[in-house]
Chain A
Amino acid sequence: DGGITQSPKYLFRKEGQNVTLSCEQNLNHDAMYWYRQDPGQGLRLIYYSQIVNDFQKGDIAEGYSVSREKKESFPLTVTSAQKNPTAFYLCASWGGTGVGTEQFFGPGTRLTVL
């Protein structure tokens, strides 16, 4: 069953701690994305990667870091520098124009920083 998995579904952390969110895809897609969604808001792009070992900042990259060591995996670290980290985090992937049109989303991780 192809798709994107994100774990955990709910995550609680104390203020000042770094936390890493997992995103894995078995769709063989080159491009992967991290979005942040706040209650009642749209999706804002944090980071994206078009190929292994390469990634670019999105619109709200400050306080976040990523790595892309494997095609299937694109973990996101929310650092203590992120001033308001509580949000719903969505990972997505895209196969490229030669493969398909849409981005596929994972189920999301709801992060709460106490």
Chain B
Amino acid sequence: GQQVMQIPQYQHVQEGEDFTTYCNSSTTLSNIQWYKQRPGGHPVFLIQLVKSGEVKKQKRLTFQFGEAKKNSSLHITATQTTDVGTYFCAGRAGAGNKLTFGGGTRVLVKP
């Protein structure tokens, strides 16, 4: 079945630094979504990417969808303590209603 892998599993970042988390799917995706889960909370939708090579920005967050629609990345600039949490990518294959979630990248920020 479809698998979605995320690296790194953990990311310790100094406040103010940049980092990137990567997402790779075993199959071609129709779209990919990113969610953020704060400690003790539930996942909250951040963004969806649909087109090959698409790049979207949300303030300090930049999301990219690969040309082959099998990988994606999230880049955060000037990390803040509010960025703490686990970031999940989730891919949808075809026109189905299922999302396959990656294992997540847990981000810890050192002030």
* Partner-B contacts on A (CB < 8 A): 31, 35, 40-45, 48, 50, 58-59, 90, 94, 96, 101-108
Given the known interface contacts A41-B103, A105-B43, the answer about A59 and B1 at a Cβ–Cβ threshold of 8 Å is yes
Given the known interface contacts A31-B97, A42-B104, A43-B101, the answer about A102 and B33 at a Cβ–Cβ threshold of 8 Å is yes
Q: Are A90 and B102 in contact (CB under 8 A)?
A: no
Q: Are A90 and B43 in contact (CB under 8 A)?
A: yes
In the docked arrangement, what's the CA distance between A22 and B33, Å?
Answer: 26
Contact partner of A102 (CB less than 8 A), chosen from B41, B45, B101, B102, is B45
In the docked arrangement, what's the CA distance between A42 and B33, Å?
Answer: 14
In the docked arrangement, what's the CA distance between A11 and B98, Å?
Answer: 27
Shortest CB-to-CB span from A40 to chain B, Å, is 7
* B106 within 8 A of partner (CB): yes
* B59 within 8 A of partner (CB): no
Interchain residue pairs with CB less than 8 A apart (14): A40-B9, A41-B103, A41-B104, A42-B101, A42-B104, A45-B98, A45-B100, A58-B98, A94-B97, A96-B97, A104-B45, A105-B42, A105-B43, A106-B42
